[in-house]
C-alpha cells in the first residue's frame, strides 16, 4: 500500500462512483485531491463570460465541500498542468498520481508529458477508465479492429454490459487529506472571467444539479422515444453538460436506464436513451482510435470535396451563425445556442445539415462554432455529430440524404412554439405561413413586420437548388471506396 496518492480531477467533478478516487482510497493510506484551471484552455476561450467556466467553478465549490465533509478537500491551482502537477507532487511528497483517462489528442499529449516528468522523478502515474463504459481494445470486431459502424458496435457493447456496468470500486479505509486553510477555489474574477447576466438562466451545476435533472428525467423517461425530437417539448434529459464535466457518472446513468427497462423493451424510452449513451461511447472510441478526425474527414475520400469559399461563403456563414438564414427552424436553433449555450439534439442535426449541404460550407467551420458556444461541448460527440451530418464520418448519413429545413420544421415544431420563442419577429405570422414566411404576400409581410418591428428574411438559398448543387459537390466521392 502506498503512503499517499494525488488524485488529479479533470472532467470528473464528483466524489462518488469515481474510478481514480476509488482506486486511490483502496491503495493508499492518505489521498490528496487537486484540480488545475488550465491557463492554455482558458486563454483560448473567445469570451470572458463563459457559462462553462462558471459551471466548472460552481461544481468545484460543491466538490470541495463534499470532500471536506469526508475529512479532505480540494487543492485548486491556476496554471499549466505540465508544471503544476509535478510541482504539487513535490510539495505533497506523494508516491503516485491517479487520473481518469481523457481521449482527446491534446489531453493525451498533456498526460504523456506529465507522466514522463513524474517518471523521471520516480513518481508513478496511473490512469483509469471512467468517462465511458468501454475503452481501448475492450470492444473490437472479429478481425480485432475497432468498429466503424454503430449497429454492430451497439450489439457488442450490449453483449459486454453485464460484466461492466457495476459502479466504481468502493471507497473504504484510506484517509482523505485536507488542504491547508479554507476553500481554495478561486473566484471567477481571479480567473479573468465575469459572471453571466443573472437575467439569463444559470446552469444547474455540480452533483446536486445533476441529481435534480436526473430525478426529473426519470419521471419522463418512458416518453423519451416519442418526445425527444420535439424542441418545444420537455422530452430530453438535459444531462449532457453533466456528463461532459463528470458531475454524474456514465455508469450511474446506464444503471438507471437498465432499472427502467432498457434491456426488456427495445422500443421503449429507456432503451432509446441507452442507445444515445452508447452513441456517446462510440464517438469516444472513434476519437481515441482515429484521431485524424479532429482535422480531417473520417473517410479520406471526402477531403476532396470543394466547399464554398470567398465572400459569399463568409457572409452566408455569418448569417447562419446569427440566425438569419430565412429558414425559421434553423434560425431559431441558432438563436437558442447564441442565447443559452444549448441546442436541442434534433436541431443540431438540422443546422449542421443546412450549413454543409444547403450552404455548401465546410463542416469544420460549424464544428468550431459549436465548440465556442455549446455548454456541453465535447470534442468526440461534436466532431462525430458534425461528420455524421456532413456524411464525412463513420456510419454517417449517406451524402444523398439531405435534411429539408422546411419539412423538418413542419414535422418537429408543427405549432411553431419553439420558433416563436426565439424569433419574436415572427410572433404575428399566421400558423399557415410560419414555417415559410417568405411565401406571404408583400402586404402580409409588411403587416407582420409592423406588428413586431422585425423584418422577414428571404431564404439564403432555395433548398431544391441547393440539393442539386450538393449532389454535384459530393460526386467526387461517389465512386471512391470508404475505409
- 380-411 tens-digit pLDDT: 999 999 999 999 998 777 888 899 999 999 99
Structural domain contains residue 361: yes
Gyration radius (Cα) of the chain, Å? 24
Using CA atoms, how far apart are residues 297 and 387, in angstroms rounded to an integer?
Answer: 7
pLDDT band at 472 (very low <50, low <70, confident <90, very high): very high
Using CA atoms, how far apart are residues 375 and 464, in angstroms rounded to an integer?
Answer: 34
Q: Exposed/middle/buried for 308, CB within 10 Å: 0-12, 13-18, 19+?
A: middle
Lowest mean pLDDT among 345-349, 366-370, 454-458: 454-458
- Matching residue, cell 493510506: 29
Across 10-26, average pLDDT: 96
pLDDT in tens, 234-272: 999 999 999 999 999 999 999 999 999 999 999 999 999
Q: Does 10 share its domain with 118?
A: yes
Structural domain contains residue 365: yes
Q: Exposed/middle/buried for 144, CB within 10 Å: 0-12, 13-18, 19+?
A: exposed
Domain harbouring 245, CATH code: 1.25.40.80
Q: Does 241 share its domain with 258?
A: yes
Structural domain contains residue 182: no
Domain harbouring 87, CATH code: 3.40.50.620
Q: What is the pLDDT of residue 28?
A: 93
Say whether pLDDT at 1 is over 80.
no
Q: Does 150 share its domain with 271?
A: yes
Q: What is the pLDDT of residue 162?
A: 73
pLDDT band at 483 (very low <50, low <70, confident <90, very high): very low
Q: Does 338 share its domain with 462?
A: yes
pTM score: 0.94
Whether 319 and 334 have beta carbons less than 8 Å apart is answered as no
- Matching residue, cell 450538393: 470
Structural domain contains residue 258: yes
Say whether pLDDT at 41 is over 80.
yes
Q: Does 244 share its domain with 326?
A: no
Q: Does 437 share its domain with 394?
A: yes
Q: Does 124 share its domain with 143?
A: no
Q: Tell me which long-range contacts 160-166 makes (C-beta under 8 A, separation of at least 24).
A: 160/134, 161/133, 161/254, 164/133, 164/134, 164/138, 165/133, 165/251, 165/254, 165/255, 165/258, 166/251
Domain harbouring 433, CATH code: 1.10.579.10
- With left for phi above 0 and alpha for psi between -120 and 50, is residue 191 left, alpha or beta? alpha
Query: Vertex 54, ends 34 and 253: CA angle to 5°?
Result: 70
297, three cell numbers? 474527414
Structural domain contains residue 79: yes
The SS3 assignment for 56 reads: helix
Say whether pLDDT at 181 is over 70.
no
Range of the domain at 57: 2-130
Structural domain contains residue 318: yes
pLDDT band at 31 (very low <50, low <70, confident <90, very high): very high
The interaxial angle of helices 405-412 and 328-340, nearest 10 deg, is 70
The interaxial angle of helices 81-92 and 105-120, nearest 10 deg, is 40
Whether 138 and 160 have beta carbons less than 8 Å apart is answered as yes
Give the residue with greater pLDDT, 108 vs 2: 108
Structural domain contains residue 76: yes
Q: Does 122 share its domain with 226?
A: no
Across 445-460, average pLDDT: 74
Lowest mean pLDDT among 59-73, 262-276, 341-355, 453-467: 453-467
Which are the catalytic amino acids? 276, 279, 307, 345, 363, 386
- Pick from 235, 263, 289: which residue ends a domain? 289
Across 223-233, average pLDDT: 98
- In the chain, the N- to C-terminal Cα span, in Å, equals 47
Sign of CA dihedral 35, 40, 41, 47: positive
- Pick from 270, 289, 308: which residue ends a domain? 289
Q: Does 452 share its domain with 310?
A: yes
Please state, for a pLDDT cut of 70, what percent of the chain lies above it.
93
Q: Of 247, 255, 297, nearest to 277 (Cα)?
A: 255
pLDDT band at 454 (very low <50, low <70, confident <90, very high): low
* Polymer length in residues for the chain: 483
pLDDT band at 452 (very low <50, low <70, confident <90, very high): low
pLDDT in tens, 7-17: 999 999 999 99
Give the residue with greater pLDDT, 164 vs 295: 295
Q: Does 101 share its domain with 137?
A: no
pLDDT band at 171 (very low <50, low <70, confident <90, very high): low
Q: Of 392, 386, 383, nearest to 283 (Cα)?
A: 383
Q: Does 157 share its domain with 273?
A: yes
Structural domain contains residue 294: no
- Pick from 289, 312, 338: which residue ends a domain? 289
Phi and psi, residue 5, nearest 5°:
-135, 145
Give the residue with greater pLDDT, 383 vs 204: 383
Q: What is the pLDDT of residue 481?
A: 46
Q: Of 124, 76, 132, nearest to 101 (Cα)?
A: 132
Q: Does 144 share its domain with 155?
A: yes
**What is the tally of structural domains in the chain?**
3
Across 293-312, average pLDDT: 95
Across 279-308, average pLDDT: 96
pLDDT in tens, 425-441: 898 899 999 999 999 98
Amino acid at each position: 500500500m502506498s503512503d499517499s496518492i494525488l488524485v488529479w480531477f479533470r472532467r470528473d467533478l464528483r466524489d462518488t462512483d469515481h474510478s481514480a478516487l476509488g482506486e486511490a482510497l483502496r491503495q493508499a493510506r492518505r489521498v490528496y485531491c487537486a484540480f488545475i484551471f488550465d491557463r492554455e484552455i482558458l486563454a483560448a476561450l473567445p469570451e470572458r463570460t463563459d457559462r462553462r467556466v462558471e459551471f466548472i467553478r460552481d461544481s468545484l465549490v460543491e466538490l470541495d465541500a463534499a470532500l471536506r465533509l469526508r475529512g479532505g478537500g480540494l487543492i485548486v491551482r491556476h496554471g499549466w498542468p505540465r508544471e503544476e502537477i509535478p510541482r504539487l507532487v513535490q510539495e505533497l511528497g506523494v508516491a503516485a498520481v491517479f487520473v481518469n483517462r481523457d481521449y482527446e489528442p491534446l489531453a493525451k499529449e498533456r498526460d504523456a508529458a506529465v507522466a514522463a516528468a513524474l517518471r523521471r522523478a520516480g513518481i508513478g502515474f496511473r490512469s483509469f477508465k471512467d468517462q465511458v463504459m468501454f475503452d481501448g481494445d475492450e470492444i473490437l470486431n472479429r478481425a480485432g479492429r475497432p468498429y466503424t459502424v454503430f449497429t454492430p458496435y451497439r450489439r457488442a457493447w450490449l453483449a459486454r454490459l453485464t460484466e461492466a456496468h457495476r459502479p466504481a470500486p468502493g471507497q473504504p479505509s484510506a484517509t482523505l487529506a485536507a488542504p491547508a486553510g479554507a476553500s481554495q477555489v478561486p473566484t471567477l474574477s481571479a480567473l479573468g472571467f465575469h459572471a453571466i447576466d443573472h437575467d439569463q438562466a444559470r446552469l444547474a451545476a455540480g452533483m446536486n444539479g445533476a441529481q435534480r435533472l436526473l430525478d426529473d428525467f426519470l419521471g419522463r423517461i418512458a416518453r423519451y422515444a416519442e418526445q425527444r425530437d420535439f424542441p418545444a417539448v420537455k422530452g430530453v434529459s438535459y444531462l449532457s453538460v453533466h456528463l461532459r464535466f463528470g458531475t454524474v457518472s456514465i455508469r450511474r446513468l446506464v444503471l438507471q436506464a437498465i432499472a427502467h427497462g432498457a434491456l426488456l423493451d427495445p422500443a421503449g424510452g429507456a432503451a432509446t436513451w441507452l442507445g444515445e449513451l452508447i452513441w456517446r461511447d462510440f464517438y469516444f472510441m472513434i476519437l481515441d482510435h482515429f484521431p485524424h478526425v479532429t482535422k480531417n474527414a473520417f473517410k479520406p475520400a471526402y477531403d476532396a470535396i470543394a466547399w464554398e469559399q470567398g465572400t459569399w461563403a463568409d457572409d452566408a456563414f455569418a448569417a447562419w451563425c446569427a440566425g438569419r438564414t430565412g429558414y425559421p427552424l434553423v434560425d431559431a436553433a441558432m438563436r437558442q445556442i447564441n442565447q443559452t449555450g444549448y441546442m436541442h439534439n434534433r436541431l443540431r442535426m438540422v443546422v449542421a445539415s443546412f450549413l454543409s449541404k444547403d450552404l455548401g460550407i465546410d463542416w469544420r467551420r460549424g464544428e468550431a462554432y459549436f465548440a465556442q458556444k455549446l455548454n456541453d461541448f465535447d470534442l468526440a460527440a461534436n466532431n462525430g455529430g458534425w461528420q455524421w451530418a456532413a456524411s464525412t464520418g463513420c456510419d454517417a448519413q449517406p451524402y444523398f440524404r439531405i435534411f429539408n429545413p422546411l419539412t423538418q420544421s413542419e414535422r418537429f415544431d408543427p405549432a411553431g412554439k419553439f420558433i416563436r420563442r426565439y424569433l419574436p419577429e415572427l410572433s404575428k405570422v399566421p400558423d399557415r405561413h410560419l414555417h415559410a414566411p417568405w411565401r406571404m404576400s408583400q402586404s402580409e409581410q409588411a403587416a407582420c413586420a409592423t406588428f413586431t418591428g422585425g423584418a422577414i428574411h428571404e431564404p439564403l438559398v432555395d433548398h431544391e437548388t441547393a440539393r442539386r448543387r450538393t449532389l454535384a459537390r459530393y460526386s467526387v466521392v461517389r465512386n471512391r471506396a470508404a475505409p
